[in-house]
Structure 1
């Protein structure tokens, strides 16, 4: 038996921290199946609970690498420090973006480290013969390894990250590791077959996230800025739904705003296709990185602030309308990277002014990601290192606080106003009387549910308050099971009315409830309680004579 240990990945164009599962475990499992090996897959969080799971493994393949660090609710990624002491007696192969970091020599002494991307080298190491040097090499393994998702501890509540192509058509940004990949497109029939195979394994949540620019998938790369192919992408989506009609989430990740600015008509058609054929709550991450022209020039960034604003406006035009799950269909998000070459105090002001201009124009941004640069060897940023990160630590903190307090909060109130019903929230972590939940989606909104729910329960809830990047919501209640503190949290109900309801339950009909608390309070309460309270008897009681 060969072990697959998923230490999680987070790259500019790939996410594999729960509830996401990256393509890499599926590729590895597919290779092992193809070569006749049995395997056992486990996430690093489950391994920490049960480190003896690989006692009988003759080899362990470790997948790891957090290239764009963030805060994670669903899991704790494997760190380079933890890596040193992992399974000291076992033969181990290390793969993933972690190998691009400046690792201690102890890692190389304790692991067989394969270059990234690793798929061709790993297949040869396992005894296979490589006959295709393109990304289509992974096609067979993506399908063969689909069954591995059933060994994930969160199955079936996992989002499968799907690769469409590798590489970036720009590939020059000073800090980005995508420069290591050459452009290589996966055939759409194989991508669709992979999705279909996962669907047949019980997966219902997908993200077309493992590419640098979804709009240029199947596009014309003979041009400096690849020209999108709207018709091909529309047919691609139609075929996914024809084969997998009960998908619950189909989202994407990265879109290059330069593509939208260069090809507005083609991009407009693709946005319409995504609104029509993907599911609501979708977010396209735009890599602005900096609104300072000097920083853009020094770091070879691609899109200008004006181009990004144009892309935001075009996506808002068609994507800001609210879908059935309570979120707008398709909105942009913005990435800022702090600590780049040429950065000054004025850079932070220009970044903030950009966001204020977005607000002045009445545009919506679902997500504003602000992170300090992570410096990798052999990138242009390595010349500068973390000098500007250290020098501008104070400015970074002030900028982030200003955005969270003055922009994010106002934006949330526009995107999900008070009273908005948000559906299909998956409960993840409980802290006291609050349960933190998110939709299974790309860049999901964090919701603090007033109530104590078990992990993996699904809840619908109405928004009642806002944090800086999260909202508080009241779950739709069965009034006969509701807790006092839940009823008190409903705006306009108050402690007296809540206590009256608790004392008088159980109710046999909504009429009984209305008679108790009065018409005014009943109208306030009604949106927060389950329609299942309306029994046939209650309906008859409430009908007026004709």
Structure 2
């Protein structure tokens, strides 16, 4: 029996599977099918589009589509599957057994600011949130208990080799499941996590370590400890809701000891109010994370709004003061730098289209972000999005009676205001000129500029003014935009640097760039100082670690 997994990409509040990420759903599904005796193939939806593989899918006995977006996002690595593409696949594969999993099994929504629609597909079986258990029930006479972690472990270990079929392999990040559900008793009005996973439960430490070791042996060196609404609450369900610092030391030390060449170890969500409520315990956990993680890591804070009225009406368990204190705590522990890059910083998510929102909400959000900037605190990134309204959530019920209309003009005005007045100066502080970024992978080109990113959680977009970039390469930052940086090749060799790269450096200009090129080769840096005859520019070159070879 032959099965094919079509990866349509998932993006949930606690999990990401858009390339270079490969989701836990895909690996678990492959593992269950392999354990059941299937030969399993795997293709991303982008591979199918690019290589026109649609008709080829009909040769498989089982066609399993996995995907669904439940949080708004923009993606560079791939484009999530559309409803029309799902219908096309299942129409072509008329004789195959057809399965669908991920958020798509419940509904379809394509972008922020829109309402989900239900999916009706002929002769298709839906696999629920308990993917492993549901697949076992479908193909056997067994009826495993909900969230059976032993079954999950067996599937995860059996499915590790599927990563080698990913088109980005070995440049992939494996999203690792830590827990399901949210530790909060009451839930935010818009969040789909408690709809998928009503009970908060943590995965055993040894299971997580075993899976990472297996994936590491299969060639993966980048991991994100995700699939958690609040990573700091991992194992809290086994400790009366309180954080477990000792568990994090056990987990991280085991990962690093067993996988010494892991390059990326990053994270995703954290709850600001949890950090403040259990400040001492969470501080110890943050210290452990910073001890073992890799630079450029982010803890995503679901702030959503700094408007107290909106927070209360949407049951978001934070306040502006709590968020500010949580930002301070993470900065105090995580802002230590490696080659100029902070180890761990908070990120802030803002969401529009919530109950109780007014035009004053926009100004309050801006003013609190400005306060964070003026206090000298660092934010790794700010996400500004419009809510997706999804069935099963309180917001969905509210929208049945009254729809919240986001003023697009007002939304765009404040979005650009935050980009220019908060993001840009914040970027300059987080990634100052002279910061070295290791292993930037080229992703696309625009004219003579190559754009690339590092592996990791929310990697910054890097524009490199050089056409023939073969990654990965090390770069050094020379300038900033509100959502990206400009960088040149590192080491910055004055005898090899291109004219375009010199022009990208502020204060160099066409005349100085031409003077440098015409005066090459240099034997020592003093020769460069002499032809430039400008102390400020010379200091800039020194800050960029310019070398002569």
When normalised by structure 2's length, the TM-score is 0.90
Equivalent in the alignment of 2:71 = 68
Instruction: Tell me how far 1:526 sits from its aligned partner.
Output: 5.8
Whether the aligned pair in 1 keeps the contact of 2:18 and 2:80 (CA below 8 Å) is: yes
Q: Is 1:219 matched up with 2:236?
A: yes
Q: CA RMSD in A?
A: 2.4
Runs of 4+ in 1 over 6 A off after TM superposition: 103-106
Q: Is the aligned partner of 1:338 residue 2:341? A: no
Cα displacement (A) at 1:263:
0.5
Q: Closer, same or farther in 2 for the Cα pair 1:368/1:523, shift >3 Å?
A: closer
Gaps of 5+ in 2: 109-115
* Partner of residue 443 from structure 1, selected from 453, 458, 462: 458
> Equivalent residue of 2:432, what SS?
coil
The equivalent of 1:418 in structure 2 is: 433
Which runs of 5 or more structure 1 residues have no equivalent in the other structure?
A: 535-546
- Counterpart mapping for 1:393-472 below 5 A: 393-454=408-469, 457-472=471-486
Q: CA offsets per residue over residues 359-417 of structure 1, 9 Å max, x none? A: 22211111111111101112111123396552433332222122111111111111112
Which residue in 2 is equivalent to 1:375? Answer: 389
SS in structure 2 of the partner of residue 384 of structure 1: helix
TM alignment of 1:288-299, pairs within 5 A: 288-299=303-314
2:364 aligns with 350
Partner of 2:157: 143
Question: What's the counterpart of residue 122 of structure 2?
Answer: 109
Does the C-alpha gap of structure 1 residues 525 and 348 become closer, same or farther in structure 2, counting only changes over 3 Å?
A: closer
Task: Tell me which residue corresponds to 1:25.
Answer: 26
Tell me: CA distance 1:397–1:385, structure 2 relative to 1, closer, same or farther (3 Å): farther
| SS at structure 2 position matched to 1:208 | strand
Mapped contact 2:72–2:387 kept (Cα < 8 A) = no
Partner residue of 2:101 out of 86, 95, 117: 95
| Aligned-residue offset at 1:267 | 0.8
* Structure 2 partner of 1:134: 147
3-state secondary structure, aligned to 1:88? helix
Is the contact made by 2:183 and 2:233 (CA closer than 8 Å) also made in structure 1?
A: no
Aligned 8 A contact 2:5 2:26 in 1: yes
- SS of the residue corresponding to residue 10 of structure 1 reads strand
Q: Shift of residue 122 of structure 1?
A: 2.0
The secondary structure found in structure 2 opposite 1:301 is coil
- Which residue does 1:365 correspond to in 2? 379
Structure-1 separation of matches of 2:164 and 2:40: 13
- Aligned residue for 1:365, secondary structure, equals coil
Question: How far did 1:294 drift?
Answer: 1.5
Instruction: Determine if contact 1:100/1:116 at 8 Å carries over to the other structure.
Output: no
SS at match of 2:91: coil
Distance 1:296 1:85 in 2: 42
Preserved CA contact (<8 Å) 1:11 1:66: yes
Per the alignment, do residues 407 and 128 of structure 1 end up closer, same or farther by CA in structure 2, a change over 3 Å counting? farther
CA distance in 1, matches of 2:542, 2:177: 45
Question: Per-residue deviation at 1:216?
Answer: 1.2
Q: 1:464 to 1:514 in 2, by over 3 A?
A: closer
Kept in 1: contact 2:486–2:504 (CA 8 A):
no
Q: Is the 8 A contact 2:192 2:392 kept in 1?
A: no
- Compared with structure 1, are the counterparts of its residues 370 and 389 closer, same or farther at alpha carbon in structure 2 (3 Å cutoff)? farther
Question: 2:439 & 2:396 partners in 1: Cα distance?
Answer: 44
Task: Indicate how the Cα distance of structure 1 residues 135 and 185 shifts in structure 2: closer, same or farther if over 3 A, else same.
Answer: farther
Asked if 1 retains the 8 angstrom alpha-carbon contact of 2:22 and 2:173, the reply is: yes
Matches within 5 A, 1:497-516: 497-503=512-518, 507=521, 509-510=523-524, 514=528
